[in-house]
A and B are shown apart, each in its own frame.
Chain A
Amino acid sequence: MTRTPMTRTIEPHPALPVHHGDPFGHEVLEDPAAFHGELREAGPVVHLARYDVYAMARYAEVHAALRDWQSFESGAGVGLSNFRTEPPWRPPSLLLESDPPRHDAPRRVLSGLLAPRALRRLREQWRSAAADLVDDLLARGPEFDAVPALAEAFPLRVFPDAVGIPDEGRENLLPYGEFLFNAFGPHNDLVAAGAPRAGDLAAWVNAQCRREVLAEGGFGAQIWAAADRGEITPDQAPLVVRSLLSAGVDTTVHGLGAVLHAVATFPEQWRRLREQPHLARVAFDEAVRWASPVQTFFRTATTDVRVGDAVVPAGKKILMFLASANRDPGRWDDPAAFDLSRDPSGHVGFGFGIHQCVGQHVARLEAESLLTALAERVASIEVAGPVVRHHNNTMRALGSLPLRVRPA
Chain B
Amino acid sequence: MSAVQEDVVTLRVAAKEVASDGVVVLTLRHPDGARLPDWAPGAHVDLILPTGAVRQYSLCGDRFDAFRYRVGVLREPDGRGGSAYVHDVLAVGDTVGVGGPRNHFPLVPSERYLFVAGGIGITPLLPMVRQADALDADWTLVYGGRTRASMAFLDELAAHGDRVHLVPEDECGRIDLPRWLADPQPDVAVYCCGPGPLLDAVERACAHWRPHALRTERFVAKEQGAPVRDEPFEVELARTGRSVTVTPGRTVLEAVRSVGVDVLSSCRQGTCGTCETDVLEGLPDHRDSILDDADRAANDCMFVCVSRSRTDRLVLDL
* Partner among B41, B64, B278 whose Cβ is within 8 Å of the Cβ of A70: B64
* Partner among B35, B110, B134 whose Cβ is within 8 Å of the Cβ of A101: B134
Q: Which of B88-96, B101-109, B118-126 faces chain A?
A: B101-109
CB distance from B210 to the nearest CB of A (A): 8
Q: Given A70-B64, A117-B301, check contact A105 B38 (CB 8 Å).
A: no
Q: Across the two chains, which residue of chain A brings its CB closest to B132?
A: A101
Judged by a CB distance under 8 angstroms, whether B193 is at the interface is no
B66 touches A104 (CB 8 A): no
Chain B interface helix/strand/loop/mixed = loop
Q: Given A100-B63, A101-B40, check contact A231 B135 (CB 8 Å).
A: no
Q: Across the two chains, which residue of chain B brings its CB closest to A353?
A: B38
- The CA-CA distance from A232 to B109 in the complex, in Å, is 6
Judged by a CB distance under 8 angstroms, whether A360 is at the interface is no
Chain B residues within 8 Å of A236, by CB: 109
Q: Given A101-B135, A117-B300, check contact A230 B108 (CB 8 Å).
A: yes
Judged by a CB distance under 8 angstroms, whether A306 is at the interface is no
Q: Across the two chains, which residue of chain A brings its CB closest to B276?
A: A117
Judged by a CB distance under 8 angstroms, whether B213 is at the interface is yes
Q: Across the two chains, which residue of chain B brings its CB closest to A108?
A: B106
- Indicate the member of A101, A102, A105, A117 with the most B CB atoms within 10 Å: A101
B301 touches A105 (CB 8 A): no
Q: Across the two chains, which residue of chain A brings its CB closest to B278?
A: A117
| Chain B interface residue bracket vs A | 20 to 34
Judged by a CB distance under 8 angstroms, whether A84 is at the interface is no
Judged by a CB distance under 8 angstroms, whether B294 is at the interface is yes
Judged by a CB distance under 8 angstroms, whether A233 is at the interface is yes
Judged by a CB distance under 8 angstroms, whether B250 is at the interface is no
Judged by a CB distance under 8 angstroms, whether A3 is at the interface is no
Contact with B along A112-123 (1 / 0, CB 8 A): 000001001000
The number of residues on chain A lying at the interface, defined by a beta carbon within 8 Å of a beta carbon of chain B, is 20
CB distance from A230 to the nearest CB of B (A): 5
Judged by a CB distance under 8 angstroms, whether B204 is at the interface is no
Judged by a CB distance under 8 angstroms, whether B189 is at the interface is yes
B108 touches A232 (CB 8 A): yes
Query: Which residues, 113 to 157 on B, are CB-close (under 8 Å) to A?
Result: 131, 134-135
Chain A residues within 8 Å of B66, by CB: 68, 70
A105 touches B300 (CB 8 A): no
A104 touches B213 (CB 8 A): no
Judged by a CB distance under 8 angstroms, whether B208 is at the interface is no
Contact with B along A121-157 (1 / 0, CB 8 A): 0000000000000000000000000000000000000
Q: Across the two chains, which residue of chain A brings its CB closest to B106?
A: A108
Chain B residues within 8 Å of A337, by CB: none
Can you list 21 pairs linking A and B with CB atoms under 8 Å apart?
A68-B35, A68-B66, A100-B38, A101-B41, A101-B131, A101-B135, A102-B135, A104-B106, A105-B106, A105-B108, A105-B109, A108-B106, A117-B301, A120-B278, A230-B108, A230-B213, A232-B108, A232-B109, A233-B109, A236-B109, A353-B38
- 19 A-B pairs besides A70-B64, A102-B135, A108-B106 with CB distance below 8 A are A68-B35, A68-B66, A70-B66, A100-B63, A101-B41, A101-B131, A104-B106, A104-B107, A105-B106, A108-B40, A117-B300, A117-B317, A120-B280, A229-B294, A230-B108, A231-B106, A231-B108, A232-B108, A232-B109
